[in-house]
Structure 1
Amino acid sequence: MSSDTILLVMDMLNDLVHPEGMGGKTYVPLMQERGVYDATQLAISKARAAGVMVGYVRVGFSPDYAECPSGSPVFSKAAENGVFKLGEWGTEVLEAFAPQPGDPDIIKHRVSPFYATKLEPLLRAQGIRRLVLSGVSTNGVVSAAVREGHDRDYACVLLEDCCAGATAEEHAHALSGLKRYAQVTSAHAFEF
Protein backbone atom coordinates (compact mmCIF):
# COMPACT_ATOMS: atom_id res chain seq x y z
CA MET A 1 0.00 0.00 0.00
CA SER A 2 1.32 3.38 -0.91
CA SER A 3 -1.01 5.53 1.21
CA ASP A 4 0.28 7.47 4.21
CA THR A 5 -3.09 6.96 5.93
CA ILE A 6 -4.51 4.19 8.12
CA LEU A 7 -8.08 3.66 9.28
CA LEU A 8 -8.06 2.34 12.85
CA VAL A 9 -11.14 0.39 13.93
CA MET A 10 -10.78 0.35 17.71
CA ASP A 11 -12.42 -1.95 20.27
CA MET A 12 -15.30 -2.91 17.98
CA LEU A 13 -15.35 -6.24 19.83
CA ASN A 14 -18.16 -8.65 20.48
CA ASP A 15 -17.81 -8.01 24.24
CA LEU A 16 -18.62 -4.34 23.64
CA VAL A 17 -20.70 -3.93 20.48
CA HIS A 18 -22.50 -7.23 19.83
CA PRO A 19 -26.08 -7.40 21.17
CA GLU A 20 -25.12 -10.51 23.17
CA GLY A 21 -21.86 -9.04 24.46
CA MET A 22 -21.23 -7.50 27.86
CA GLY A 23 -21.73 -4.00 26.41
CA GLY A 24 -24.85 -4.96 24.51
CA LYS A 25 -27.09 -2.90 26.76
CA THR A 26 -24.64 -0.01 26.93
CA TYR A 27 -23.27 0.64 23.45
CA VAL A 28 -25.59 -1.24 21.09
CA PRO A 29 -28.74 0.91 21.47
CA LEU A 30 -26.78 4.13 20.98
CA MET A 31 -24.84 2.68 18.06
CA GLN A 32 -28.06 1.54 16.40
CA GLU A 33 -29.76 4.88 17.03
CA ARG A 34 -26.85 6.85 15.58
CA GLY A 35 -26.14 4.51 12.63
CA VAL A 36 -22.62 3.68 13.85
CA TYR A 37 -22.67 0.16 12.41
CA ASP A 38 -23.52 1.33 8.88
CA ALA A 39 -21.13 4.28 9.07
CA THR A 40 -18.27 2.03 10.20
CA GLN A 41 -18.93 -0.42 7.37
CA LEU A 42 -18.93 2.53 4.96
CA ALA A 43 -15.63 3.84 6.32
CA ILE A 44 -13.98 0.43 6.01
CA SER A 45 -15.32 0.01 2.47
CA LYS A 46 -14.14 3.48 1.41
CA ALA A 47 -10.70 2.93 2.92
CA ARG A 48 -10.25 -0.42 1.17
CA ALA A 49 -11.44 1.05 -2.16
CA ALA A 50 -8.85 3.82 -1.80
CA GLY A 51 -6.04 1.37 -1.01
CA VAL A 52 -5.80 2.59 2.59
CA MET A 53 -4.63 0.19 5.28
CA VAL A 54 -7.30 -0.84 7.80
CA GLY A 55 -5.94 -1.71 11.23
CA TYR A 56 -7.78 -3.24 14.15
CA VAL A 57 -7.09 -2.31 17.77
CA ARG A 58 -8.44 -4.74 20.37
CA VAL A 59 -8.31 -4.66 24.13
CA GLY A 60 -7.57 -8.07 25.56
CA PHE A 61 -5.83 -10.04 28.25
CA SER A 62 -4.27 -13.48 28.39
CA PRO A 63 -6.48 -16.21 29.96
CA ASP A 64 -4.89 -15.67 33.40
CA TYR A 65 -5.40 -11.87 33.14
CA ALA A 66 -1.73 -11.33 34.04
CA GLU A 67 -1.67 -7.94 32.22
CA CYS A 68 -4.95 -6.74 33.73
CA PRO A 69 -4.47 -3.93 36.27
CA SER A 70 -6.36 -4.87 39.43
CA GLY A 71 -6.66 -1.27 40.60
CA SER A 72 -8.07 0.11 37.35
CA PRO A 73 -11.59 1.57 37.46
CA VAL A 74 -11.94 0.46 33.83
CA PHE A 75 -10.45 -3.06 33.83
CA SER A 76 -10.47 -4.30 37.44
CA LYS A 77 -13.68 -6.33 36.97
CA ALA A 78 -12.63 -7.92 33.64
CA ALA A 79 -11.43 -11.21 35.17
CA GLU A 80 -14.39 -11.41 37.54
CA ASN A 81 -16.80 -10.93 34.61
CA GLY A 82 -14.81 -13.10 32.19
CA VAL A 83 -14.54 -10.36 29.54
CA PHE A 84 -11.72 -9.21 27.27
CA LYS A 85 -10.13 -12.69 27.31
CA LEU A 86 -7.96 -13.15 24.23
CA GLY A 87 -8.74 -16.19 22.12
CA GLU A 88 -12.44 -16.11 22.95
CA TRP A 89 -15.49 -14.81 21.08
CA GLY A 90 -15.67 -11.63 23.14
CA THR A 91 -12.36 -10.24 21.89
CA GLU A 92 -13.06 -11.00 18.23
CA VAL A 93 -13.96 -8.04 16.01
CA LEU A 94 -17.68 -7.83 15.27
CA GLU A 95 -18.30 -9.89 12.12
CA ALA A 96 -19.73 -6.92 10.21
CA PHE A 97 -16.34 -5.19 10.47
CA ALA A 98 -14.24 -8.35 10.10
CA PRO A 99 -10.55 -7.94 9.32
CA GLN A 100 -9.18 -9.31 6.08
CA PRO A 101 -6.00 -11.37 5.87
CA GLY A 102 -3.02 -9.08 6.29
CA ASP A 103 -4.86 -6.35 8.21
CA PRO A 104 -2.83 -5.28 11.26
CA ASP A 105 -4.09 -6.57 14.60
CA ILE A 106 -2.97 -4.42 17.51
CA ILE A 107 -3.60 -5.87 20.97
CA LYS A 108 -3.66 -3.46 23.89
CA HIS A 109 -3.89 -4.00 27.63
CA ARG A 110 -4.88 -0.46 28.57
CA VAL A 111 -7.11 2.30 27.17
CA SER A 112 -4.43 3.73 24.87
CA PRO A 113 -3.77 2.04 21.52
CA PHE A 114 -0.14 3.28 21.74
CA TYR A 115 0.90 2.17 25.23
CA ALA A 116 3.02 -1.01 25.12
CA THR A 117 1.66 -2.06 21.69
CA LYS A 118 3.09 -2.54 18.22
CA LEU A 119 1.05 0.38 16.83
CA GLU A 120 3.76 3.04 16.60
CA PRO A 121 6.45 0.75 15.13
CA LEU A 122 3.88 -0.35 12.52
CA LEU A 123 2.95 3.25 11.66
CA ARG A 124 6.59 4.30 11.34
CA ALA A 125 7.54 1.26 9.24
CA GLN A 126 4.62 1.85 6.88
CA GLY A 127 5.23 5.60 6.51
CA ILE A 128 1.84 6.46 8.02
CA ARG A 129 1.33 10.16 8.72
CA ARG A 130 -2.46 10.36 9.11
CA LEU A 131 -4.72 8.40 11.45
CA VAL A 132 -8.42 8.07 10.69
CA LEU A 133 -10.08 6.95 13.90
CA SER A 134 -13.26 5.06 14.77
CA GLY A 135 -14.46 2.94 17.66
CA VAL A 136 -15.78 2.67 21.19
CA SER A 137 -15.63 4.39 23.38
CA THR A 138 -15.32 7.97 22.21
CA ASN A 139 -14.09 9.09 25.62
CA GLY A 140 -11.80 6.05 26.00
CA VAL A 141 -9.70 4.58 23.20
CA VAL A 142 -10.76 7.19 20.62
CA SER A 143 -9.83 10.08 22.89
CA ALA A 144 -6.53 8.45 23.83
CA ALA A 145 -5.70 7.78 20.17
CA VAL A 146 -6.44 11.36 19.14
CA ARG A 147 -4.44 12.95 21.94
CA GLU A 148 -1.48 10.59 21.72
CA GLY A 149 -1.53 10.57 17.93
CA HIS A 150 -1.44 14.37 17.95
CA ASP A 151 1.50 14.39 20.35
CA ARG A 152 3.37 11.93 18.12
CA ASP A 153 2.90 14.31 15.17
CA TYR A 154 0.27 12.35 13.26
CA ALA A 155 -2.57 14.20 11.57
CA CYS A 156 -5.73 12.84 13.21
CA VAL A 157 -9.19 12.55 11.67
CA LEU A 158 -12.06 11.43 13.89
CA LEU A 159 -15.08 9.88 12.16
CA GLU A 160 -17.66 10.86 14.75
CA ASP A 161 -20.44 8.78 13.21
CA CYS A 162 -18.20 5.71 13.64
CA CYS A 163 -17.82 6.26 17.39
CA ALA A 164 -19.99 5.89 20.47
CA GLY A 165 -19.86 6.55 24.17
CA ALA A 166 -21.79 4.81 26.91
CA THR A 167 -24.24 7.72 26.72
CA ALA A 168 -25.00 10.41 24.16
CA GLU A 169 -23.72 13.00 26.63
CA GLU A 170 -20.44 11.13 27.12
CA HIS A 171 -19.93 10.99 23.34
CA ALA A 172 -20.72 14.69 22.88
CA HIS A 173 -18.50 15.72 25.77
CA ALA A 174 -15.57 13.72 24.39
CA LEU A 175 -16.03 15.24 20.94
CA SER A 176 -16.08 18.78 22.31
CA GLY A 177 -12.63 18.23 23.80
CA LEU A 178 -11.16 16.45 20.78
CA LYS A 179 -11.99 19.07 18.13
CA ARG A 180 -8.88 20.93 19.16
CA TYR A 181 -6.61 17.99 18.27
CA ALA A 182 -8.31 16.37 15.30
CA GLN A 183 -10.40 17.05 12.26
CA VAL A 184 -13.88 15.85 13.22
CA THR A 185 -15.97 14.65 10.31
CA SER A 186 -18.14 11.69 9.27
CA ALA A 187 -17.67 8.54 7.23
CA HIS A 188 -20.15 9.92 4.71
CA ALA A 189 -18.26 13.21 4.25
CA PHE A 190 -14.66 11.99 4.47
CA GLU A 191 -12.74 10.94 1.38
CA PHE A 192 -9.67 8.83 1.82
Structure 2
Amino acid sequence: MSTGHVHPAALLIIDMQNGINHPRLGRRNNPDAETHLAAVLAHWRNRGYPVVHVRHVSRQPGSVFWPGQAGCEFQPAFTPLPDEAVFEKNVPDAFAASGLERWLHARGIGRLVIAGVVTNNSVESTARSAGNLGFSTQVVGDACYTFDKVDLNGRHWPAEAVHALSLSNLAMDYATIIEHTALL
Protein backbone atom coordinates (compact mmCIF):
# COMPACT_ATOMS: atom_id res chain seq x y z
CA MET A 1 0.00 0.00 0.00
CA SER A 2 1.35 3.39 -0.99
CA THR A 3 2.01 5.91 1.74
CA GLY A 4 2.54 8.69 -0.80
CA HIS A 5 0.57 11.85 -1.33
CA VAL A 6 -3.19 11.37 -1.28
CA HIS A 7 -4.72 13.28 -4.16
CA PRO A 8 -7.43 15.67 -2.98
CA ALA A 9 -11.00 14.85 -3.82
CA ALA A 10 -12.46 16.29 -6.97
CA LEU A 11 -15.46 18.55 -6.47
CA LEU A 12 -18.16 17.46 -8.90
CA ILE A 13 -20.75 20.21 -9.43
CA ILE A 14 -23.88 18.86 -11.07
CA ASP A 15 -26.15 20.88 -13.42
CA MET A 16 -25.81 24.32 -11.82
CA GLN A 17 -27.31 25.89 -14.93
CA ASN A 18 -29.69 28.80 -15.41
CA GLY A 19 -32.59 26.53 -16.38
CA ILE A 20 -32.82 24.98 -12.92
CA ASN A 21 -34.30 28.28 -11.71
CA HIS A 22 -37.25 28.12 -14.13
CA PRO A 23 -40.53 28.71 -12.25
CA ARG A 24 -42.23 25.76 -13.96
CA LEU A 25 -40.05 23.36 -11.98
CA GLY A 26 -42.05 24.34 -8.91
CA ARG A 27 -41.31 24.71 -5.23
CA ARG A 28 -37.86 23.66 -4.02
CA ASN A 29 -36.17 22.98 -0.70
CA ASN A 30 -32.89 24.26 0.74
CA PRO A 31 -32.83 27.93 -0.32
CA ASP A 32 -29.24 28.18 1.00
CA ALA A 33 -27.86 25.47 -1.29
CA GLU A 34 -26.19 27.91 -3.70
CA THR A 35 -24.52 29.80 -0.84
CA HIS A 36 -23.20 26.54 0.63
CA LEU A 37 -21.99 25.30 -2.75
CA ALA A 38 -20.30 28.63 -3.49
CA ALA A 39 -18.40 28.37 -0.18
CA VAL A 40 -17.23 24.84 -1.04
CA LEU A 41 -16.25 25.92 -4.56
CA ALA A 42 -14.23 28.87 -3.23
CA HIS A 43 -12.50 26.55 -0.74
CA TRP A 44 -11.60 24.10 -3.55
CA ARG A 45 -10.35 26.85 -5.85
CA ASN A 46 -8.27 28.51 -3.12
CA ARG A 47 -6.44 25.23 -2.55
CA GLY A 48 -6.05 24.34 -6.22
CA TYR A 49 -8.07 21.13 -5.83
CA PRO A 50 -9.68 19.66 -8.95
CA VAL A 51 -13.12 21.01 -9.89
CA VAL A 52 -15.37 19.28 -12.40
CA HIS A 53 -18.50 20.96 -13.79
CA VAL A 54 -21.24 18.81 -15.26
CA ARG A 55 -23.74 20.35 -17.66
CA HIS A 56 -26.98 18.68 -18.72
CA VAL A 57 -27.70 19.10 -22.42
CA SER A 58 -31.23 17.86 -22.95
CA ARG A 59 -32.46 15.87 -25.92
CA GLN A 60 -36.04 16.94 -25.11
CA PRO A 61 -37.29 20.07 -26.93
CA GLY A 62 -38.75 22.50 -24.41
CA SER A 63 -36.46 21.32 -21.61
CA VAL A 64 -35.01 23.99 -19.31
CA PHE A 65 -31.63 22.55 -20.42
CA TRP A 66 -32.29 22.61 -24.19
CA PRO A 67 -29.04 23.51 -26.01
CA GLY A 68 -28.65 26.95 -27.53
CA GLN A 69 -30.79 28.82 -25.02
CA ALA A 70 -29.86 30.59 -21.78
CA GLY A 71 -31.19 27.82 -19.52
CA CYS A 72 -28.47 25.47 -20.71
CA GLU A 73 -25.68 27.87 -19.68
CA PHE A 74 -23.95 27.73 -16.30
CA GLN A 75 -25.18 30.08 -13.59
CA PRO A 76 -22.74 33.02 -13.28
CA ALA A 77 -21.67 31.99 -9.75
CA PHE A 78 -20.76 28.51 -11.04
CA THR A 79 -19.12 29.33 -14.35
CA PRO A 80 -16.11 27.08 -14.88
CA LEU A 81 -12.65 28.63 -14.83
CA PRO A 82 -10.44 27.89 -17.86
CA ASP A 83 -8.49 25.18 -15.98
CA GLU A 84 -11.59 23.40 -14.66
CA ALA A 85 -13.00 20.35 -16.41
CA VAL A 86 -16.45 20.43 -18.01
CA PHE A 87 -18.41 17.31 -18.92
CA GLU A 88 -21.70 17.30 -20.77
CA LYS A 89 -24.37 14.66 -20.26
CA ASN A 90 -27.72 13.82 -21.83
CA VAL A 91 -28.99 11.56 -19.03
CA PRO A 92 -29.02 12.06 -15.24
CA ASP A 93 -25.85 10.02 -14.60
CA ALA A 94 -22.71 12.12 -15.19
CA PHE A 95 -20.70 8.93 -15.75
CA ALA A 96 -22.86 7.60 -18.61
CA ALA A 97 -21.03 7.94 -21.95
CA SER A 98 -19.20 11.09 -20.79
CA GLY A 99 -15.57 10.04 -20.28
CA LEU A 100 -15.71 11.28 -16.67
CA GLU A 101 -14.57 7.99 -15.13
CA ARG A 102 -11.56 7.76 -17.47
CA TRP A 103 -10.68 11.44 -16.79
CA LEU A 104 -10.71 10.86 -13.01
CA HIS A 105 -8.67 7.64 -13.20
CA ALA A 106 -6.10 9.27 -15.51
CA ARG A 107 -5.49 11.88 -12.78
CA GLY A 108 -5.38 9.41 -9.90
CA ILE A 109 -8.54 10.82 -8.36
CA GLY A 110 -10.35 8.25 -6.26
CA ARG A 111 -12.39 10.58 -4.04
CA LEU A 112 -15.39 12.65 -5.11
CA VAL A 113 -17.36 15.36 -3.39
CA ILE A 114 -20.69 15.83 -5.18
CA ALA A 115 -23.12 18.76 -4.96
CA GLY A 116 -25.68 20.46 -7.15
CA VAL A 117 -29.08 19.56 -8.57
CA VAL A 118 -31.44 17.81 -8.60
CA THR A 119 -30.90 15.75 -5.43
CA ASN A 120 -33.14 12.82 -6.39
CA ASN A 121 -32.22 12.86 -10.07
CA SER A 122 -28.77 13.77 -11.41
CA VAL A 123 -27.07 14.03 -8.01
CA GLU A 124 -28.41 10.68 -6.84
CA SER A 125 -27.79 8.95 -10.18
CA THR A 126 -24.20 10.22 -10.36
CA ALA A 127 -23.45 9.41 -6.72
CA ARG A 128 -24.83 5.88 -7.15
CA SER A 129 -22.55 5.32 -10.15
CA ALA A 130 -19.57 6.84 -8.33
CA GLY A 131 -20.09 4.44 -5.42
CA ASN A 132 -20.64 1.49 -7.73
CA LEU A 133 -17.46 2.34 -9.65
CA GLY A 134 -15.42 2.28 -6.45
CA PHE A 135 -14.92 6.00 -5.84
CA SER A 136 -14.90 7.18 -2.24
CA THR A 137 -17.92 9.46 -2.51
CA GLN A 138 -19.36 12.21 -0.36
CA VAL A 139 -22.54 14.13 -1.17
CA VAL A 140 -22.86 17.60 0.33
CA GLY A 141 -26.50 17.39 1.36
CA ASP A 142 -26.92 21.06 2.21
CA ALA A 143 -25.41 22.08 -1.16
CA CYS A 144 -28.08 20.19 -3.11
CA TYR A 145 -31.79 20.69 -3.58
CA THR A 146 -34.84 19.28 -5.30
CA PHE A 147 -38.46 20.08 -6.03
CA ASP A 148 -41.89 18.95 -4.84
CA LYS A 149 -42.93 15.70 -6.55
CA VAL A 150 -46.15 13.85 -7.22
CA ASP A 151 -45.78 10.06 -7.08
CA LEU A 152 -47.39 7.50 -9.38
CA ASN A 153 -50.44 7.36 -7.10
CA GLY A 154 -50.96 11.11 -7.28
CA ARG A 155 -49.67 11.76 -3.75
CA HIS A 156 -47.83 15.07 -3.30
CA TRP A 157 -44.41 14.91 -1.64
CA PRO A 158 -42.75 18.11 -0.43
CA ALA A 159 -39.23 18.77 -1.68
CA GLU A 160 -37.87 18.40 1.86
CA ALA A 161 -39.11 14.78 2.02
CA VAL A 162 -37.90 13.94 -1.50
CA HIS A 163 -34.46 15.40 -0.64
CA ALA A 164 -34.22 13.53 2.69
CA LEU A 165 -35.20 10.19 1.17
CA SER A 166 -32.81 10.60 -1.73
CA LEU A 167 -29.89 11.29 0.60
CA SER A 168 -30.97 8.35 2.77
CA ASN A 169 -30.94 6.08 -0.29
CA LEU A 170 -27.39 7.20 -1.09
CA ALA A 171 -26.19 6.75 2.50
CA MET A 172 -27.17 3.06 2.44
CA ASP A 173 -24.56 1.86 -0.07
CA TYR A 174 -23.15 4.60 -2.27
CA ALA A 175 -21.93 7.70 -0.46
CA THR A 176 -21.36 9.46 2.83
CA ILE A 177 -23.69 12.42 3.34
CA ILE A 178 -22.03 15.49 4.82
CA GLU A 179 -22.76 19.18 5.41
CA HIS A 180 -20.71 21.84 3.66
CA THR A 181 -19.09 22.95 6.94
CA ALA A 182 -17.38 19.55 7.21
CA LEU A 183 -15.33 20.51 4.13
CA LEU A 184 -14.37 24.00 5.28
TM-score by length of 1: 0.80
Go from structure 1 to structure 2 and tell me whether the alpha carbon gap of 1:86 and 1:172 turns closer, same or farther (over 3 Å shift). same
Residue 93 (structure 1) aligns with: 74
Partner of 1:12 in structure 2? 16
Q: Distance in 2 between matches of 1:130 and 1:82?
A: 32
Aligned length: 167
Q: Is the contact between residue 54 and residue 87 of structure 2 (CA under 8 Å) also seen in structure 1?
A: yes
Shift, 1:82, TM fit: 5.0
Deviation at 1:114, TM superposition (A): 0.6
Secondary structure of 1:188's counterpart equals helix
Structure 2 gap segments, 5+ residues each: 1-5, 148-158
Give, as a single letter, the amino acid of the residue that structure 1 aligns with 2:183.
Answer: F
Deviations 1:149-173 (CA, angstroms, capped at 9, x unpaired): 1111100011001101111111011
State the SS of the aligned residue for 1:145. Answer: helix
Amino acid in structure 2 at the alignment position of 1:182: A
> Counterpart of 1:186?
179
TM-superposed deviation, 1:83 = 3.1
2:102 aligns with one of 108, 121, 132: 121
Partner-residue secondary structure (3-state), 1:179: helix
Q: CA RMSD in A?
A: 1.8
| 3-state SS in 2 of match to 1:106 | strand
Q: CA deviation at 1:31?
A: 3.8
Deviations 1:124-169 (A, max 9, x none): 1111100100011111111111111111110001100110111111
Are 2:20 and 2:64, in contact at CA under 8 Å, matched by a contact in 1? no
Runs of 4+ in structure 1 over 3 Å off:
22-27
Q: How much does 1:115 deviate?
A: 0.6
Change (3 A) 1:113 1:12: same
TM score, norm. by length of structure 2: 0.84
- Report % sequence identity: 28
Cross-structure match for 1:54: 51
Q: Residue 86 and residue 119 in structure 1: after superposition, are their counterparts in 2 closer, same or farther (change >3 A)? A: same
Q: Residues 1-192 of structure 1 correspond to what in structure 2 (within 5 A)?
A: 3-17=7-21, 21=22, 25-27=26-28, 30-32=29-31, 35-61=32-58, 68=59, 78-79=60-61, 81-166=62-147, 167-180=159-172, 181-191=174-184
The code of the aligned residue for 2:49 comes to V
1:50-83 superposed Cα distances (whole Å, 9 cap, x missing partner): 221111111104xxxxxx3xxxxxxxxx31x253
